[in-house]
Structures are given as C-alpha cells and as structure tokens.
Structure 1
Amino acid sequence: MLNISLRQMRTLLAIQKHGKISAAARALGLTSPAVTLQLQQLEQDLGCQLFLRTKTGAQPTEVGDIAIQTARRILSELASFEETVQAHKGIAAGTIRLGVVSTGKYFAPRLIAAFTAVHPGISMTLVAANRSEIIQKLHDHDIDVALMGRPPTTFKVHATLFGDHPLVFIASPDHPLVGRLDISREDLAEQKFIVREKGSGTRSSFEFFMSGTPGGLRTTPTEMDSNETIKQAVIAGLGIAFISGHTIEQECLSGKLVLLDVVETPIRRQWFSIRHSSRTSTPALQALDDFLRLRGPSLLPVLSKPYPAALFQSAMTGNAAFPD
C-alpha cells in the first residue's frame, strides 16, 4: 500500500509545472532542499525515478507522467468533495477554473459577471487560449470547464449546449465586396485573406468551407495568431477575414468593420460547456451548467445585418443596382 501525502502530490505538480526544483520551491513557499527531499522520498516509496534531471530542467519519465496525471485527478476529486460537503452544510461556495477558446474571451467576462452575481459564493478563474491548448488543459485537469465549439473526441467528456456560434466573413467598409448580395466562394477565392493560426477552430472551419472552391485560393493567406490582430489588419485594408461573429460586436457597431453577405453564411456552429468525464460534478459546476442553459444565449453578442436595410428592400422590389 502506497503512503503518498497530498503535500508530495502538490510538490510533484509544481515541479512539472515550473520545470525546475528551485522554481517549484518558490511557488510552494519552501526551500529547494525541502522540495528535493520530498521528491526523493516519493521516488523511494514508488521504487522508480519520476523526473530526469537535465540541464534544461526536470523532465518527467514515463512513470512520472502517470504519477502527474494521477495526482491531478486525486486533487481535483478532493476539491470536488470539499465543495460538496460545503453544499450539504448550506454554504453555496466553490471555485471553477474556466477555460475558453480565443473567440470566447469576448463574452466570457460578461458571462462570469452575470453568473457570480447570482452565485456570489462561487469564485471563477479564466484562461483563454486556442482550441488545441484548451483541449490539452481540459485533458490534464488544469481547468474544470471549457467553453468551446465542437467537443474533443480524443477523450470522454460531458458537453452542454448553450448557444449558437456564427462564423462570418468581414471586410473594411470601403472594400469592393461590401454591399453585394450572395457573394460566391469563387468571388471570395480572388481575395486576399487573413487567417488564424493552425490549431484554431476558426481556421479549420474556414479551410473546410473553402475546400470545394474550384482552383482554391488565388493568393496565400496571411496568418495571424489573434482575433484582435486580424481585425486591425482588416480595418487597415490588408484583406478580408473569416472570423467568429462574437468577436466583432463593437467594430460593427462603430462602422469599422462590415459583414459580407456570402452565400451559405453565417456558418452556424454551437457553443458548448465541456468538462472531462472523470471530473466529478460539484454543486458549483451544476450551477454553472444550469445557468448556461437558461441564460447563456442571452449573454452572447448579437450580429448586425450584413447590408443596409434600404438596400435589402430595394433588392426585394427589383429596383436595386448592385456592384458587379
């Protein structure tokens, strides 16, 4: 029977996170010799080495990786247990580590504010990253809940649908395609595009949407790693972009960006609240699930029309003269 303490588990995770004994010691408020001693005792109890000491830092061995994953699960379960006990005492409390894909950071603060106003005893932390990174954090139990599009398929999860996620094409107000109706993929293929990096869900959706275009894109897209940079590039006239409709609310209202009326868009995806299947639900997590189902849709940004109302009415009566 192994006799591993919670302190040793926390030490193990700190070494993995910070990469060096000295950095882990600072994070834990301990001395380096104390952290080294705890690691040595743990390795002695297990009968195997957990980290390789290299010039670049401590690298987990194969057994070390297993020990790290086990420690994460155990500490996560203990946190869940503590929250459940507090709930049985009538204390509405808990902590939720929330992760969102990059496009979600535009509404996540609004969602957190609304949720904590209803549940003031529940605290939340927020981390935003691209889809690949958020999936990894969810897998590693570094976050409790992820807000993202399609659920991951590489491990089992519990997913709660809480709203639509439109993906749209945008341009600067003086772009030649602005004002046209029913823009085709072929028309788009002639344009200069600014796209997200590989690993982004928006990038994958863009490539899928344009994959059937005869001849493909005429120019190589310019890759940028954030929605903010992409929006500024489009405003500057460097090209058009395919982006989440939930990232452009303010720019559309101010007239800096315009939605393009592209055939078969907006592409409708969904937002999900996702947790690892091995993560035990707590009263706090259940409260968040219930809140998202009931109020999530109302907290998402609303898209404006991609064309002026007068232009649309003229098109319906056959009196409009649209750009070629």
Structure 2
Amino acid sequence: MNYTLNQLQIFLKIVQTESVTKASEELHLTQPAVSIQLKNFQDQFDIPLTEVVGRKIYITDFGREIAEAAENIINQVYAINYKTLAYKGQLTGRLKISVVSTGKYVMPYFLTDFMKQHTGIELLMDVTNKNKVVESLENNEVDFALVSVLPTTLNIEQLDLLQNKLYLVGNAKATIPHEINTTDLFKELPLIFREKGSGTRQTMESFIERNNISVLKKMELTSNEAVKQALLADLGYSIMPLIGIRNELHNNELQIIPIKGLPITTTWRLIWLKGKKHSPVSTSFLTYLSKEKAQIIQDKFDWYERY
C-alpha cells in the first residue's frame, strides 16, 4: 500500500458527492486529474471501491468502509496540525460557514483580516442556495450561515452585517420608456428568475405578488452568475442584488432601471442555532465581527452605500 493523503481526500470527496465531476468542482481540480487519482488509489486494492453503471459512479460497501477510514485518517492529520499550532499559542481549528450564492460577494470581506490574523484556522465555506444553507444549519453541520431571508422554521440568533439591495436590472443598451407604469412595464419585459429554493427568487416573487404584477417569465437559471450573463447577452431582465453587479455597472454593461417599489431592501445576516455551543474559533470570529464590521463596511463597501 502506497496511497497518499491527497488520494484519500479525493476518494472521500467522490464518496461524499457520488460524482467525479462534482468532486473535481469542490476540490478545484480538473476532472481528468481526479479520475487519475481515483484509478491510482483503486489499483492498490484487490476489491473494487467503485462501480460505474452507464455514466453514474456507485460506491461499493467496501469502498464506503475505506472512505470512513480515510475520513478518520484525515481528521487525525488535521488534529496533528492543530495541536502543533496550539502549542505555539495560535488559535486553531475549523470555521464552517454555509453561504447563499449571492453571499459570496459579501462574506469574504468579513473574513479576510480575521483569517490573516489567525493562520492556524482552516476555513470551510460552502456556497449554495438558501434551502441547502438552511438544511446544513438545521443539521448542525456548520457554525454559521449567511442569508438575506431569515428561515422561519429554525430558532436562531443573528448578527446583522450589511444591507442587501435588489434592483430591476437589464442590458445597458436596452431602452425603457419613462412614461410607462410599473404594472405595464413588467408585462412587456421578459423576466429571468433564479431557481426555486433561492433567496433572491423568494424575494423577487414576494415583490411581484405584493404588487399584483403580471409578468412575462422568460427563463429560470440556477446561479446569480448565470442570470448576469443572460442579462449581458440581452436575453431579458431580472431583479438582482446590487452586490453582484458592481463591475458591470462601472463598465456600463448593465443598467439599473428605476421603478416604483425598488430597490427591495433586506439585510445580510450571519445566523446560528440558538443555544449553540461555539468553539473557540467561532466565538473569536463573532467577537471580531462585532468589533470590526462597521470599519469593514466603510473600507470595502463604500461604493455600495452610494446607491
């Protein structure tokens, strides 16, 4: 046996995702690189770890036992690293955060200096849609979640970070008649929606329902970036968070279309389960945010506050 820690990590991720493609995406590796490492790892065992039926990969019972052992080994390696750093007097451990997809434009700025101050901390940040974020929080799989629409089914505590503003956005070359009213405007504009389970989709639909607006639905896309690219291609319009279109506004590629009732304003909030017993790392992060968030907003989001 001559397997490496890298191979154990790759195999464990394949088992967790049940997909070589998804594993490669989450590990930020190419699919061929992951496939090669899986083959090299598999070749060291006489019993199959995986089976491929059609185009889908299945994990054998033996493979799942190996994955469980691999996870234990990886955790022990992390423990050795943490103990070494702790012996040097450094704050160590993992900080696990689940972030709604548009929150990826927000959360990194509230993490940067904290991570630089504490190099012994390992950050695990999952970016996904709101439903999955709430699920990971409910299952106590993460320390914190970043959302702009609070879950109604969980007993939580929260720390407000930044206002979230959503505007009607379209291609900069589009011409919108100024005299048309809001109701008639939405009947004319092909609207692009986020997927079900998205917080942006929920906010957009609430606005439409609250104002009794009939809309021309054009398409449904599964990420904020996909919606933005569709707008850049002039495929339609969407109600989008301002936070994700800074460069496109600056480069005059997209425009904000002023209409009554917009922007919709919510708040980006860091939330956690009420009564959660925080680790030293997560306690330290909360203390840091409470002290520094105003300065972070001033330094990193001054452009945002002008809209």
Return the TM-score normalized by structure 2.
0.67
| Alpha-carbon distance in 2 for matches of 1:287, 1:186 | 51
- Of 251, 255, 278, which aligns to 1:254? 251
The SS at the match of 1:280 is coil
- Of 219, 234, 246, which aligns to 1:222? 219
Contact 1:159 1:273 in 2 (8 A): yes
Other-structure match for 1:318: none
User: Does 100-109 or 193-202 show the bigger shift?
Assistant: 100-109
Asked if residue 137 in structure 1 is aligned to residue 136 in structure 2, the reply is yes
Contact 2:183 2:214 in 1 (8 A): no
Q: Deviations over 1:115-141 (max 9, x none)?
A: 212333333122100000111111223
Correspondence 1:232-311 to 2 at 5 A? 232-277=229-274, 279-293=276-290, 294-295=292-293, 296-298=296-298, 299-300=300-301, 302-303=303-304
Matched to 2:124, the amino acid is T
Quick one: structure 1 residues 301 and 168, their matched pair in 2 at CA, closer, same or farther if it must change by over 3 Å? farther
| Alpha-carbon distance in 1 for matches of 2:180, 2:146 | 32
| Alpha-carbon distance in 1 for matches of 2:285, 2:115 | 10
Quick one: structure 1 residues 183 and 304, their matched pair in 2 at CA, closer, same or farther if it must change by over 3 Å? farther
| Alpha-carbon distance in 1 for matches of 2:302, 2:192 | 23
Matched to 1:193, the amino acid is L
Correspondence 1:181-192 to 2 at 5 A? 184-192=182-190
| Alpha-carbon distance in 2 for matches of 1:206, 1:195 | 8
Quick one: structure 1 residues 177 and 291, their matched pair in 2 at CA, closer, same or farther if it must change by over 3 Å? farther
| Alpha-carbon distance in 1 for matches of 2:152, 2:86 | 32
| Alpha-carbon distance in 2 for matches of 1:234, 1:18 | 31
The alpha carbon displacement at 1:17 in A equals 4.1
The alpha carbon displacement at 1:186 in A equals 3.5
Other-structure match for 1:115: 114
Contact 1:185 1:210 in 2 (8 A): no
Quick one: structure 1 residues 89 and 221, their matched pair in 2 at CA, closer, same or farther if it must change by over 3 Å? same
Other-structure match for 1:64: none
Contact 2:169 2:255 in 1 (8 A): yes
Which runs of 5 or more residues in structure 1 are unaligned? 1-12, 20-25, 34-54, 60-74, 307-324
The alpha carbon displacement at 1:259 in A equals 1.2
The SS at the match of 1:165 is strand
The SS at the match of 1:211 is helix
> Percent identity of the aligned residues?
24
Q: Deviations over 1:85-132 (max 9, x none)?
A: x98995422220121100011233333322212333333122100000
| Alpha-carbon distance in 1 for matches of 2:181, 2:45 | 63
Asked if residue 125 in structure 1 is aligned to residue 124 in structure 2, the reply is yes
The SS at the match of 1:177 is coil
- Of 196, 199, 207, which aligns to 2:205? 207
| Alpha-carbon distance in 2 for matches of 1:87, 1:275 | 26
Asked if residue 231 in structure 1 is aligned to residue 228 in structure 2, the reply is yes
Matched to 2:221, the amino acid is M
Other-structure match for 1:150: 149
Contact 2:186 2:214 in 1 (8 A): no
Matched to 1:109, the amino acid is P
Q: Deviations over 1:154-211 (max 9, x none)?
A: 2322211112111111111111228x49962442332111110011011111111111
- Equivalenced residues, count: 254
| Alpha-carbon distance in 1 for matches of 2:17, 2:194 | 29
Q: Deviations over 1:25-64 (max 9, x none)?
A: x9xx9x999xxxxxxxxxxxxxxxxxxxxx97699xxxxx
Other-structure match for 2:174: 175
